[in-house]
Amino acid sequence: MSTSIFEIIGPTMIGPSSSHTAGMVRIGRMAHSIVGGDIQYIMIEFSPMLRTTYHGHRSDAALIGGVIGLCESDVEIRNAIELAHERGIETKIDFLPEGEYPQNTARLTVGCKDGRVVSVLGTSVGGGSIVIDAVDDASLRIAPEAYHILIWSADTLDLPLSGATIQRGEGKKGVVTCLTFSSLPSESFVSKLRELKGVTALKSIPPILEYGITLTDEKYESCSDLCREAEEKGVAVSDLAVRYEMTRSGFSEEYIRKEMLQLLQRMKESVLEGEKPNKLLYGLASGKDGRLLQEAIREGKTISGGIMPLAVSRAIGVMEYNGSMGIIVAAPTAGSSGIVPGCFITLQEEYGFSDEEIVNALFVSGIMGVIMAHRKVSFSGSVGGCQGEIGVSSAISAAGMVSLFSKEPTKIAHGMALCLKNLLGLVCDPIAGPIEIPCIKRNAVGVANAFISADMALAGIQSFIPPDEVIDALVDVEKRLPQELKCATVGGLASTCTAKRIRKELSCNL
């Protein structure tokens, strides 16, 4: 399956975490579509690894918000639990058995007023992306960007099929069949299915993601292929990126460019919000560190000049806004969402680039992330460590920044590689769950690294290890990193006495 550029630059979402907040909203939204009807109760069972992190990331509110029909960019997610209670919906939280489920998994059991009970098991796989793993205990893999029809029956059905892929699983209510379509199935076809002998229930599930279904298996799997094509055809990397997204989704160039422009506008808004005082969910950081740095710049007190500290201050500001459940653009994750706006909006201001030029640079960043995804990089700190969040965000920013000053594809790829190498092995060690310590200030090093790497690449410096191999090295490190250093709030900074004290204080307040 090929990855959308809008999975790398995007989604627009409420903070603080793309895996634990936006991804959980999406699991809830899928459950909302699958269940339908008037809800009486929602029971959440988190995988045991989320025991220490779910509340800090508001995963409970996110799941409940999704089930009651809110989307990941809705500010009402902040009050979703209260909203559910106001509607007379009971909520309960528990945990799945040890050792059987991936880290960012949750099972939702939803009871309706008409007596129906449906359970949905979903996993958040990083950057807000999700898969549904089971419905009513029947193992299925349901992607949120396609059209699906779910059919419940006592026995296996003989189905009149056209243009659909089919999966079957057996669960506590018999057989669940999942039909997947690339376009909306007709009403008459759905009615025909509903009338089939043996069907006990049927549900049409629309896609919940805006970037559209993947129509082709054609994809960029290496920087070397991308650079070769750009050089041979004499086409800018940004144009190849736009064409890739058009082929993947079937959307028009105009639509795709407009989507990216909207994301840029959202980033600008988040930069402005980051310059206001922000009250972080847990108050572990002041919420005004970005402004402190801006004050130092104004007073001429920074030792590394103006542009880089300014970009850093904005990255910190966006992260402070994210940490207060503000609306940001994940790039590729919420935990690293300050880096791309910090770099690009500061460059735009300093060098007078037009929105169109910045949009092109964002496409370059996006296609670099797409190649990483196709080479199996995980953008989730809990799967691959912070190198897959801050490291990747920094590297894709560097590539986009190089593209603003040079059209040479190899310089763009080497900017990415020089940058990514510097953050290989970066661990994910948030001290008590919420994306506050060290995440906010770690975005600063992502920005600085992107600037320095872009400068090196523009000067003609190349990575000794070829760009594709650097990406593979990141995947290698992901596998070798122990689980304690992947968002488990156990190792690294989370192992310090201060972190343990804070964790204890926070759990007393839950």
Site string for ligand SF4, 55-94 (x = CB under 6 A): ----------------------------------------
- Specify the residue, 207 or 335, whose C-beta has the smaller distance to ligand SF4: 335
Q: Which stretch binds ligand SF4 (CB under 6 A): 84-92, 174-182, 384-392, 415-423?
A: 384-392
Residues 297 and 295: their CA atoms lie apart, in Å, by 5
| Of the residues 230, 390, 420, 474, which one makes contact with ligand SF4 according to CB under 6 A | 390
Comparing every residue's Cβ against ligand SF4, the nearest one is: 381
Q: How many residues bind ligand SF4 (CB under 6 A)?
A: 14
State the residue for tokens 């997947």: 180
d(CA 61, CA 24): 9
Q: For strand 129-135 and strand 105-112, is the pairing parallel, antiparallel, or unpaired?
A: unpaired
CB of 166 to ligand SF4, least distance (A): 37
Tell me how far CA of residue 283 lies from CA of 56, 225, 287, 323, 435, in angstroms: 11, 46, 8, 9, 11
Euclidean distance between CA atoms 450 and 415, whole angstroms: 8
Kindly state the smallest distance separating residue 273's Cβ from ligand SF4, in Å: 19
Alpha-carbon distances of 118 from 152, 285, 407, rounded to whole Å: 11, 41, 53
Least distance from C-beta 432 to ligand SF4, angstroms? 11
Kindly tell me which of 207 and 388 has the beta carbon lying closer to ligand SF4: 388
Stretch that binds ligand SF4, among 92-100, 169-177, 427-435, 463-471 (CB under 6 A): 427-435
Single residue of 10, 342, 409, 430 touching ligand SF4 by CB under 6 A = 430
* Residue ranges with strand state E in 251-379: 327-329
| 8 Å CB contact between 448 and 302 | no
Buried b (16+ CB within 10 A) or exposed e, 314-328: bbbbbbbbbbbbbbb
> Measured at the alpha carbon of residue 447, what is the angle toward residues 471 and 398, in degrees to the nearest 5?
45
Per the listing, tokens 């207060």 go with 324
Task: Tell which one of 435, 450, 457, 494 touches ligand SF4 (CB under 6 A).
Answer: 435
Residue 386 touches ligand SF4, criterion: CB under 6 A? yes
H or E stretch covering 150:
strand 147-153
Q: Which stretch binds ligand SF4 (CB under 6 A): 38-46, 69-77, 298-306, 424-432?
A: 424-432
Amino acid at 359: V
Site stretch for ligand SF4 (CB under 6 A), options 300-308, 343-351, 352-360, 423-431: 423-431
Give the count of beta carbons closer than 10 Å to the beta carbon of residue 99.
7
d(CA 379, CA 276): 29
Applying CB under 6 A, the span of 101-109, 283-291, 408-416, 436-444 interacting with ligand SF4 comes to 436-444
The region of 71-79, 214-222, 278-286, 425-433 touching ligand SF4 under the rule CB under 6 A is 425-433
Contact call for residues 130 and 123 (beta carbons, < 8 A): yes
State yes or no: residue 499 binds ligand SF4 (CB under 6 A).
no
Choosing from 327, 487, 488, 499, the residue that interacts with ligand SF4 (CB under 6 A) is: 487
From CA 260, how far away is CA 273, in angstroms rounded? 20
Q: Which is nearer to ligand SF4, 461 or 490 (CB)?
A: 490
Using CB under 6 A as the binding rule, whether residue 126 contacts ligand SF4 is answered as: no
Site string for ligand SF4, 324-343 (x = CB under 6 A): -----------xx-------
Beta strands in 96-146 (DSSP E): 105-112, 117-126, 129-135, 138-142
Min CB(322)–ligand SF4 separation in Å:
10
| Residues making contact with ligand SF4 (CB under 6 A) | 335-336, 381, 386, 389-390, 428-430, 435, 438-439, 442, 487
